[in-house]
Structure 1
Amino acid sequence: MLYPSRQLLTSGFRGMLAIALLAGIAHAAIDEDAREAFEAAQTHITQRDLRSAKVELLNAVAADPEWIEAQLKLAEVALELFDPVTAREHIDKAIKLDAPETAYSHLLGHALWLSGEADKAEAVLTQRTVARANMPYAYRILGRVYMDQGDTIAAGRAFESGLEIAPKDDRLWTEVARLRYVVSDMGGATSALEQAIALNPANVRALELRGRLVRDQFGLTAALPWFERGLQIDPNDVPLLEEYGNTLGELGRYGDMLMQARKILSLDTKNAKAFYMQATLAGRAGNYALARRIMGKVGGRFAELPGPQMLVAVSEYELGNFNTAIEILTRLVAAQPNNVELNSSLARALHRSGDHRAAWDVIAPIANREDADHYSTALAGRILEALGERDAAAFRLDRAAYPKIVTPLALAEKQSPGTAAAEAAREPRSARKVLPYVRVLLSAGQYEQARQAIAPLVSGNDGVVDAQLLVGDVEMAAGNRAGAIAAYDKARKVALNEAVLGRLVAAYRGAENADAASQVIAEFLAYNPSSLLGQRVAAFDLIDRKIWDQALPILYRMRARIGFNDSVLNANVARTLTALGEHDDAVREARLAYRIDPANLMTTYAYGRAVLMQGDDAKRARDLLRKASKLAPENEDIARDYRAAQKL
């Protein structure tokens, strides 16, 4: 939605005069205890100890309730602590004491925005007079209001207006970075954050956002120093603690994550993200009842976000409450229709609930693609089995038996071509408007039109990772592998995330450049050692290259994360042990894989080959390899081993 005539702020000499008068009146006759508390608060603010500052300011206004300056300073500190309720209370007190509008309008707009009242905040910031000294602050909040309303153009104009007044305002540069981050301009966001941190190395909001950006760009490990740097400045900054704790959890450092969650709750007893961390830890430990119970404490807007909702859905699914899980997942898929993981989860829940036809309708668009992942393909096979379509099921299960590295393309857009074209034409340099249109063209095979549509977006702007990935997808679909690799590599230089990893590795391997693919994998894992996708891609790469001794530890780490019920993973462990000459262990692992899925080609062959190489049970080896040869009569490796078994 566009707002071409959004209002900016008003100010004037009258506002400056009012501030001067306020200062004069405020210091006319102040209680001595109040003054001492106020001065102590100022010292704490300088030291970034905002909680102590808040306590001292509460003491100051208690000692001298009519001191307007103290009331407003308390409101300002409360807002820095994300406490709009306290801020609003003391702004209202200042208003009753006849504080001039110019002294509090920026704070009132901030408090309303933090309370979720964006429209009221906009009205205050644009219709009331703001002192010129407070205008950079007010423009910063107005930009955030517009961002929340979905108007990134108006947000950008607000930030630009603030920077015209205060070009060295590090908080404004931080919000410029946040806006660029929201529109997927990673390069632009990085540049703005570098400016903010150069202006103020102690800007904890900039350091927090830099950590989040680096986490998205280069991985979990790379983000930690940024969060830790911010916490050295303010050890009690709750947003920093939240991001730090979540990152530690994603790295598998659950004890450290739990410690951060407890610290957050000591500072904010109702903190939703801290409860979410605890629930995540319970879910990872398999205690889904506890996870669900803890998630019951998570309220507010955070509870409606995809991450918390997904955790609730997973907990309900694991507890056998499939209908509840389906209800949640259906809402999530409606909001993110192109999310493959959400669609697969919904299909799995529908399948378990017994609604196999609905499950197939959800999984079919994913499983029928060339880039379908192993788990989606295997799930599709099981769903088709339940529907009685055995031949189609066998085809899917055989395809899933030997996972391979493929380029994971986005799902087709559900937006109509006309609507998508109109949106892209209206904002040709907006990734959020252009990329859906390009995906529509790509799914229709209109490669040249797709190139033309995306050209204005990427022209002179290599920082939008999603755009570079889509350029690569278009070139790959058009048969231009070299062009695709060039685009994916541009994306890699800005952000080496899972989406870039999968595409670039598949493209390099398709170009028979295995060394380049392996280099990308190693670079990704250096920053993301706990990534399941990274571990899976690395293991497949090493197995394909027959580097068995390096593949085995990765396979074991994966199994420690996801458990022993993945038949294909167990079969790969068995294959690797066989290649390393550990035949007894290989037979044990292969037997486990076969028990889980005896109809699977890979588990059957891995078991038969392990028994053959062990040499202790010729009949079992022959039986298993005969079955494998019937499942894949043209497979030369199986045929070779079956002939060897027949000679025993």
Structure 2
Amino acid sequence: MPERRRLLPAMLIGLVLAGAGPLLAAVEPGAMDPAKAALLRGDGIAGEVALNKVLAAGANRADIAARMGEALLLQGDLIKAREWLGPGQFAKGEEAHGWRMLGMLERLSGNLPAAGQAYDKALALSPKDPLLWVDIGRLRYVGGEQLQALEASERALAAGPDNPRALEFRAQLLRDQSGWDAALPLYEQALEQLPNDLSLLGGYAATLGEAGRAKDMLVVTRKMIGIVPKHPYAWYLQAVLAARAGKIDLARRLLDRAGTRLKDMPAAIELTGLLELEAGNANLAAGTLERLADRQPVNQRLQLLFARALYESNDFNKLHDRFDGLAQRPDAPAYLLELIGRAYEEQGDRLAAAPFLDRAAAATVPAIMPIPERDPIGVLAVRWSDMPGVPARAVGYVRSLLAANNLAGAQNVANQFRQLHPGSAEALALWGDVAMAGGQAGQALDAYKLSARVRFPETLLLRMGESFDKAGKGAEAMPVVASYLAAYPGSRLAARMAASHRAFAGDWGAARAILENLRRRGGGRDVRLLSDLSLAQLRMGDHAAALASAEQAYLLQPGSSVTAQALGMALAFAGQDKSRAGALLDKAQAIGGANKLLDEARRKL
């Protein structure tokens, strides 16, 4: 009996272990391979199915928790993913991957501090994982630490020079930083390893399109559709190509193929509005564009497109209510001034129309001014004080403070925002704006240069140009503009700035070449461009071409001092119709005042 009693616990333990076989069973070697392969190609559903088979074969939850969480993340099911990842219980060898997936879950859920904590745990276990550094970089980017995100992208490439995701992330950053052509080789290198990866193909196609390689872009989008026939982004990219080629009906049909899956994508909303406008459906275009215009108040291209839709739909009351205030500003675009003026004319109010049309005809280059928000400044103050680290709230509030000439208040808010997000491109650019408003052009230029290391939009280039001039470093702007134009050859603003620089340097041949290229690319109705081109042609001694360009500009806007001056000069230098030339020069001076070019033309007469 004593011996039986001694054996009983051992027997019970054996029975417990036998009954609990699945709880403690090890995963068979290779059992996870099908799931890992599915996850690697981005197929979360196939990954989940494969993992459930592993679980049914005897694995426990910890064995598959990290991968199951990844599979559910790929499907966009954050709630179920948290059930697997939230406890933080991962099998040996899966810990780093599990913490990385939890970090991704928290990032996608908007819990950025929690995401950082999870990534820190993963980093302690796997400090040279390129995918982890990519995820850390993405977290830093959305968290307003974009300079630090650049550093993370470099760490990712150092850890995995051929890793497709590291290459993709670096390419995405390069597009904003150094131009489309700089990103293409990285996409191509990544696609050598994952030729059917839809994320890589989509980024590559979009970059090809922006780089002006439309045929190559079409080839890539067709490949995407071959892989996933209903891929919405591929159909959207093809619609963009058709719209650029002027094939409006085709573009609308292609965009319809994307269905409603892009209904919240800003670029798709803007394209839809543009296509409806071009198709003659102005009311539908206005309704589509209004909701996006409310979300992007400083997107000038979008705002002007919305104004055009309101004008063409004869909704003059809403046009005036929405844009008359903006049109009163000294920096109002000439196109908006013309729309407002024509609207008043069509309403029979010529007295109200006259000042807007006169200003549009003057074709002067507006000063750079801060854009205030539509909401009252007190409302913006309350919103900012509740959440001072949210970019949209800080930026809008600072703009309104600057517009109200409250420099001290703007400095306070911009400084707090920069302290909260020291590596943010937005915070740096905003600090530069405040420095410019305070007459500190040198400080502004330093801030703009740092911001441009992350993201270099046209608006920043324009502000940098002004800060170079005001800091007494105008000559230093020339290589910056030239470099920008090389990176973004489609930028009309950079081309105009480059033409101006070449003209001031006396290189009229280069200035003329740039301006003629702009005219061919859709600038045939830009009266200032045509007038500038006429002057460049005059300086090159091509009087016939100068006269043709000036005549074209004058026909478009005969009430403009700029076009009158251009045509008067062209006639004077060509030695034709001196009486008309003199009258035009007098008209230009009466509208726009005296200048050295008018004096030169009169001497020529």
Q: TM-score range by the shorter chain?
A: 0.7 to 0.9
**What's the counterpart of residue 240 of structure 2?**
280
**What's the counterpart of residue 162 of structure 1?**
122
Amino acid paired to 1:228: E
Give how far 1:19 is off: 9.7
Cα distance in 2 between the residues matched to 1:574 and 1:122: 66
Contact map agreement 2:572 2:601 (CA 8 A) in 1: no
* Residue of structure 2 aligned with 1:412, choices 347, 351, 373: 373
**What's the counterpart of residue 211 of structure 1?**
171
Which shifted more, 214-223 or 358-367? 358-367
* Residue of structure 1 aligned with 2:359, choices 396, 400, 412: 396
Per-residue CA distance 1:207-248 (angstroms, 9 max, x = gap): 111111111112222222322332233333322222122112
**What's the counterpart of residue 423 of structure 1?**
387
Give how far 1:282 is off: 0.7
Which shifted more, 616-625 or 571-580? 616-625
**What's the counterpart of residue 25 of structure 2?**
21
The change in CA–CA distance for 1:546 and 1:357 in structure 2 (over 3 A counts) is: farther
The change in CA–CA distance for 1:493 and 1:95 in structure 2 (over 3 A counts) is: closer
Per-residue CA distance 1:23-46 (angstroms, 9 max, x = gap): 3xx46xxxxxxxxxx8xxxxxxxx
Cα distance in 2 between the residues matched to 1:336 and 1:439: 14
Amino acid paired to 1:420: W
Per-residue CA distance 1:38-57 (angstroms, 9 max, x = gap): 8xxxxxxxxxxxxxxxxxxx
Cα distance in 2 between the residues matched to 1:343 and 1:77: 46
* Residue of structure 2 aligned with 1:289, choices 220, 242, 249: 249
Cα distance in 1 between the residues matched to 2:566 and 2:600: 11
The change in CA–CA distance for 1:452 and 1:210 in structure 2 (over 3 A counts) is: same
Task: Report the TM-score, using the length of structure 1 for normalisation.
Answer: 0.81
Is 1:351 equivalent to 2:342 in the alignment? no
Give how far 1:384 is off: 5.6
Cα distance in 1 between the residues matched to 2:548 and 2:263: 44
Give how far 1:609 is off: 2.2
Amino acid paired to 2:381: P
Give how far 1:352 is off: 2.1
> How many percent identity over aligned positions?
32
Cα distance in 2 between the residues matched to 1:140 and 1:299: 34
Cα distance in 1 between the residues matched to 2:22 and 2:399: 55
**What's the counterpart of residue 569 of structure 2?**
609
Q: Which has the larger radius of gyration?
A: 2
Per-residue CA distance 1:76-117 (angstroms, 9 max, x = gap): 322322223333343444455554222333333223322232
Amino acid paired to 1:636: N
Amino acid paired to 1:188: Q
Amino acid paired to 2:407: Y
Is 1:136 equivalent to 2:140 in the alignment? no
Matches within 5 A, 1:553-568: 553-562=513-522, 564-568=524-528
The change in CA–CA distance for 1:409 and 1:521 in structure 2 (over 3 A counts) is: farther
Give how far 1:496 is off: 3.9
Alignment partner of 2:86: what SS?
helix
**What's the counterpart of residue 503 of structure 1?**
463
Contact map agreement 2:240 2:251 (CA 8 A) in 1: yes
The change in CA–CA distance for 1:462 and 1:377 in structure 2 (over 3 A counts) is: farther
Contact map agreement 1:497 1:524 (CA 8 A) in 2: no
The change in CA–CA distance for 1:395 and 1:596 in structure 2 (over 3 A counts) is: closer
Give how far 1:469 is off: 1.0
Matches within 5 A, 1:96-115: 96-97=56-57, 99-115=59-75
Contact map agreement 1:19 1:102 (CA 8 A) in 2: no
Give how far 1:271 is off: 2.3
**What's the counterpart of residue 110 of structure 2?**
150
Amino acid paired to 2:385: A
Give how far 1:465 is off: 1.6
Cα distance in 2 between the residues matched to 1:307 and 1:121: 30
Task: Report the TM-score, using the length of structure 2 for normalisation.
Answer: 0.86
Q: CA RMSD in A?
A: 3.0
The change in CA–CA distance for 1:131 and 1:445 in structure 2 (over 3 A counts) is: farther
The change in CA–CA distance for 1:515 and 1:316 in structure 2 (over 3 A counts) is: same
Matches within 5 A, 1:356-367: 356-364=316-324, 366-367=326-327
Aligned residues: 579
Cα distance in 1 between the residues matched to 2:118 and 2:344: 54
Contact map agreement 2:167 2:186 (CA 8 A) in 1: yes
**What's the counterpart of residue 549 of structure 2?**
589
Contact map agreement 1:462 1:491 (CA 8 A) in 2: no
Is 1:320 equivalent to 2:280 in the alignment? yes
Give how far 1:560 is off: 2.8
Cα distance in 1 between the residues matched to 2:400 and 2:108: 27
Alignment partner of 1:304: what SS?
coil
Give how far 1:514 is off: 2.1
Which shifted more, 174-183 or 610-619? 610-619
What stretches of structure 1 of length at least 5 have no aligned partner?
1-16, 28-37, 39-68
Cα distance in 2 between the residues matched to 1:347 and 1:544: 35
Cα distance in 1 between the residues matched to 2:332 and 2:115: 39
Is 1:305 equivalent to 2:265 in the alignment? yes
Is 1:636 equivalent to 2:599 in the alignment? no
**What's the counterpart of residue 410 of structure 2?**
450
Per-residue CA distance 1:340-382 (angstroms, 9 max, x = gap): 3322221122122222342244334544445545555555555
